[in-house]
Amino acid sequence: MSCYLPRASFICQDHSYRIYVMMLFTSLLAFAIALLSLFSQSLKIQASADEQISQLRAEAAAREAEAAAREAEQNRKYNELQLQLQSMMTIFQQFQNPPS
């Protein structure tokens, strides 16, 4: 096979070399496309994971807020019952010790 390099291109009398180079280029192009496809899928998976993490964090924050609201309501009821108990004890003590 006789090849020479005038300027910037290969010129070969044997066309099998050109076919080989074109096949190699096509293979490299297919590999690059497959790599870009994998990268795109990876980005989609990462975005999906980020979205799921955000959703889980939002759900956890909502559960924490609900728990805090329940705790505040329980504390309010407890304090109310404590006041009622103190009031009842005061009334009971007044009946135990009538004024003279």
Q: Is residue 99 assigned to a domain? A: no
Partner residues linked to 12 by β-bridges: 3
Q: In total, how many domains does the chain have? A: 1
Q: Is residue 96 assigned to a domain? A: no
Q: Is residue 75 assigned to a domain? A: no
- pLDDT given at position 56: 98
- pLDDT given at position 18: 84
- pLDDT given at position 3: 55
Query: pLDDT tens, 2-45?
Result: 555 555 455 555 678 888 889 999 999 999 999 999 999 999 99
Q: Is residue 77 assigned to a domain? A: no
Q: Is residue 57 assigned to a domain? A: yes
Range of the domain at 36: 3-69
Query: pLDDT tens, 44-61?
Result: 999 999 999 999 999 999
Q: Is residue 54 assigned to a domain? A: yes
Q: Is residue 94 assigned to a domain? A: no
In sequence order, the 6+-apart residues with CB closer than 8 A to the CB of 18 are 10, 12
pTM over 0.75: no
